[in-house]
Amino acid sequence: MQRFFYQYRVTLSCIFFLASSLFLAMVNIRAPYRIDPVGVLVLEVMYIPQLAVTWVGDYVGQAWNHYVALWSLREENAELRKKIESLEKSARHATEVYSANQRLSELLTLREDIGGTAVAARIVGRSPLAWVKTAVLDRGTSHGVTKGMSVLVSSGVVGQVMSASAHTSRVLLVSDLSSAVDILVQRTRTRGIVSGAADGGCTLKYLERKEDVQIGDTLVTSGLDGIFPKGQLLGTVTRVGAQGGHLFQEVEVKLSADLSKVEEVLVSRPLLTADGR
């Protein structure tokens, strides 16, 4: 008998537990609200592990949520950065458009001021050599630009067209050594020639010693050279040199137009052509 139990102990224990649990199930299914004392004890024992599991689960859940939230924040951050870049680009573009609009408006006003025909052009290139002050415009003979035309901006004189091809033209800036602009000292109506200087500035040449010129005097084009319209602002006197034994005064001029920053210009028809017509 004992041997039988030992030999079939697993089977018998299975049968026992199956029978016991089936009995329990039958009893409890029929009376679902019956309080099971062992169940209550198990529930009490399981309370602390359940609490621990819940705490760990909550902690993991929170960590996971934060992780996912961080991922979404990262994506949102990248998206916002892109948006900021796009907006900055738009803002830069708008500023550029606004600035160009202002400059073009000024050119338009200038065009109305000087009268006649004038061509708006954009500076698309500059001489890379320090001692040659020229610029290239995006307008040429096909647009009406010819050699000898004056190049102006609202703030003053820029230069004159020295050569023109079909679609581009080269401008000799007033700050070039070989440039010469016939001017008047606005206050005294004294004539002179403004030319470029070796140091990159401009000088007022051929102004006799007796002529009255002072620092701060405004220089305007005289219109007598047949290139620049009369009365266009050229610059101001910044230094009047020692009169010493020289025949003419040495006068330094600061151009009113910042030639290094000019972008759009107005190319104006010469008042007289090269052959005097």
Query: Is 266 in contact with 151 (CB distance < 8 Å)?
Result: yes
Closest contact distance (angstroms) between CB of 61 and another protein is: 13
Query: Is 161 in contact with 171 (CB distance < 8 Å)?
Result: yes
CA-based nearest residue to 120, from 134, 106, 135, 99: 106
17 binds another protein (CB under 8 A): yes
Q: Would you say 20 or 77 has its CB closer to another protein?
A: 20
Burial level of 218, CB count in 10 A (0-12/13-18/19+)? middle
Query: Is 235 in contact with 220 (CB distance < 8 Å)?
Result: no
Indicate the length of the chain as a whole number.
277
Query: Is 150 in contact with 270 (CB distance < 8 Å)?
Result: yes
Q: Would you say 39 or 231 has its CB closer to another protein?
A: 39
Burial level of 29, CB count in 10 A (0-12/13-18/19+)? exposed
Q: Would you say 2 or 216 has its CB closer to another protein?
A: 2
The H or E element containing residue 221 is strand 218-221
Part of the chain binding another protein (CB under 8 A), chosen from 41-49, 75-83, 182-190, 230-238 = 41-49
How many residues sit in the footprint of another protein (CB under 8 A)? 28
Strand partners, 181: 194
Q: Would you say 57 or 200 has its CB closer to another protein?
A: 57
Strand partners, 248: 208
Burial level of 127, CB count in 10 A (0-12/13-18/19+)? middle
CA-based nearest residue to 217, from 196, 195, 242, 238: 238
The alpha helices in the chain, defined as continuous H runs, are 2-7, 9-30, 37-114
Part of the chain binding another protein (CB under 8 A), chosen from 12-20, 163-171, 225-233, 242-250 = 12-20
CA-based nearest residue to 164, from 134, 194, 192: 134
42 binds another protein (CB under 8 A): yes
Closest contact distance (angstroms) between CB of 2 and another protein is: 15
50 binds another protein (CB under 8 A): yes
Q: Would you say 40 or 63 has its CB closer to another protein?
A: 40
Contacting residue, 2, 4, 18, 57, with another protein by CB under 8 A = 18
Closest contact distance (angstroms) between CB of 15 and another protein is: 8
Contacting residue, 2, 3, 4, 10, with another protein by CB under 8 A = 10
Query: Is 264 in contact with 153 (CB distance < 8 Å)?
Result: yes
Part of the chain binding another protein (CB under 8 A), chosen from 5-13, 113-121, 179-187, 211-219 = 5-13
109 binds another protein (CB under 8 A): no
Instruction: Show the binding pattern over residues 179-208: x = contacts another protein (CB under 8 A), - = does not.
Output: ------------------------------
Q: Would you say 14 or 274 has its CB closer to another protein?
A: 14
Residues 21-40, interacting with another protein (CB under 8 A) = 21-30, 32, 36, 38-40
Which residues make up the interface to another protein (CB under 8 A)? 9-10, 13-18, 20-30, 32, 36, 38-40, 42-43, 46, 50
